[in-house]
Amino acid sequence: MSYPLTREQHLDLYYYMKLNRMLDEQLVRLFRQNVVVGGLYSNLGQEATSVGTAYALEKRDWIAPMIRNVGGLLVKGYKPRDILMQYMARVDSPTMGKDGTSHFGDIKVRHVVSPISMLGDLVPVMAGVAIGGRYLGQNIVAMTWVGDGATSTGAFHEGLNFAATQHAPLVLVVENNQWAYSTPVSKQVPIHDLADRAKAYGIASAIVDGNDVVAVYQTAKDAVDRCRRGEGPVLIESKTMRMKGHAQHDPAEYVPKEMFEYWEARDPIARYEKYLTENKIWDEKTKKELDARIDKELKEDLEFAEKSPLPPPELAEQGVYCDGCHTVEAVWKRSKAEVTPPKSSVKPEWEVADFGGFDLASTMAKQSAAAGANGGKDARTIASASQKNAAHKPQQRPNGGAAKSAQHPAGQKFKGQKANGRPEKSSDVPRVPFGRGPKGKEGRK
């Protein structure tokens, strides 16, 4: 589906990407001046992914950024001064100088969850945020980003499986920036497209050119709309490139020079400037005005950040524990009666029509599409193996009776089961007890 952008929206995308780039360059200068406290993690070359995905969200939606998703923070309403002061550990920073990089958030107004240093752990967290918003009737979508390396973590898979089974309105953006620190993608996974990870969980996925901001926005907007319609989570793989090392201390000498040259020719901002010109969305005057606006904002915010003092020593003991300093309560957008008994009551029963058994016909039907171009080889292999198994005669018991088959003949009605496979409601239906239960009278002393 296509989502046309207005001229103002097109210029917004340029503004946020260019502001992101200029802020990144300013932070590099501050790092070299020894003003940045701690490490600095550049997002050079990845601006289109952060900005394009976050721009597809609405104000009510939630994000959980990583260290390279500064563009998403800018789209969500943070100012360059917030990021500058955060890296400089100033008292007026979002964490009052108590934390570094992008480890800050705002759950009241901007709906931003602070990053977690253990990569991949934000996936289950944001799945929970998405489910919580649905429960409260907020009709929100949650979004988070992970790198290619994080797709190899347990939290990524556990969180994605949880989101899939709960049909959570979660958009998970995998930034395939080619390197997990110094390990290339080909050395950590045996697949070319990380979007294939979604197949294991039965959810929708998409692959997008992560250096084309319009394509990123279109893909993300479609994913967000799918989630808001209740169609479950979506995984987006954005193919892009980390144009610096893991952090400023890493010269990235392990990256082939030709690889940097390849991606430099596909710089997202240069490509978008060309797009805006060719489609007559702007002219040279408009570009100069936008660039001048960005320069002015950055200078003002840098001056503000430099004037902000370092945190006083006595601040260290404040805010460690919450002792009535703020109220945490749910924001209900629906009647609580909808999610409380009797309206929310369901029978504590699960129905499994086929009892989890193997059915050759349905399995072959499902495999036929996957067989595709190889002429049905996969399906024939399954059929052949099943026919061989069926050819074996059942083992005979010592008393001459045939052993019970592990599979039930088609159409056979089990005790306590209707013809449609559902259990009959009678005292004969076997129950699975919670725990071992009490012993019978014959076992009592």
246 has catalytic annotation: yes
Residue of 181, 254, 397, 422 marked active site:
254
Angle formed by the axes of helices 7-32 and 47-54, nearest 10°: 130
Residue partners of 366: CB distance under 8 A and separation at least 6: none
Picking from 79, 99, 77, the residue whose alpha carbon sits closest to that of residue 88 is 99
Residue of 15, 134, 242, 272 marked active site:
242
Picking from 227, 256, 237, 73, the residue whose alpha carbon sits closest to that of residue 163 is 227
Rounded to whole angstroms, the Cα distance separating 168 from 184 reads 31
User: How far is residue 194 from each of residues 26, 120, 174, 224, 318, measured CA to CA in Å?
Assistant: 33, 14, 8, 19, 43
111 has catalytic annotation: no
Picking from 118, 117, 159, the residue whose alpha carbon sits closest to that of residue 142 is 159
Residue 373 DSSP class: G
396, 403 contact by CB (below 8 A): yes
112, 62 contact by CB (below 8 A): yes
Backbone torsions φ then ψ of 35, nearest 5 degrees: -95, -30
408 has catalytic annotation: no
| Beta strand spans in 204-244 (E) | 204-209, 234-239
Rounded to whole angstroms, the Cα distance separating 99 from 102 reads 8
Residue of 157, 228, 246, 271 marked active site:
246
C-alpha radius of gyration, the chain, whole number: 28
Residue partners of 281: CB distance under 8 A and separation at least 6: 7, 10, 11, 275
User: Which residue is associated with the tokens 């945490």?
Assistant: 328
Rounded to whole angstroms, the Cα distance separating 371 from 169 reads 31
Per-residue b/e over 104-140, b at no fewer than 16 CB within 10 Å? bbbeeeebbbbbbeebbbbbbbbbbbbbebbebebeb
SS3 assignment, position 403: coil
User: Which residue is associated with the tokens 């006595």?
Assistant: 314
Give the chain's end-to-end CA distance (angstroms, integer): 72
Which positions are catalytic?
A: 242, 246, 254
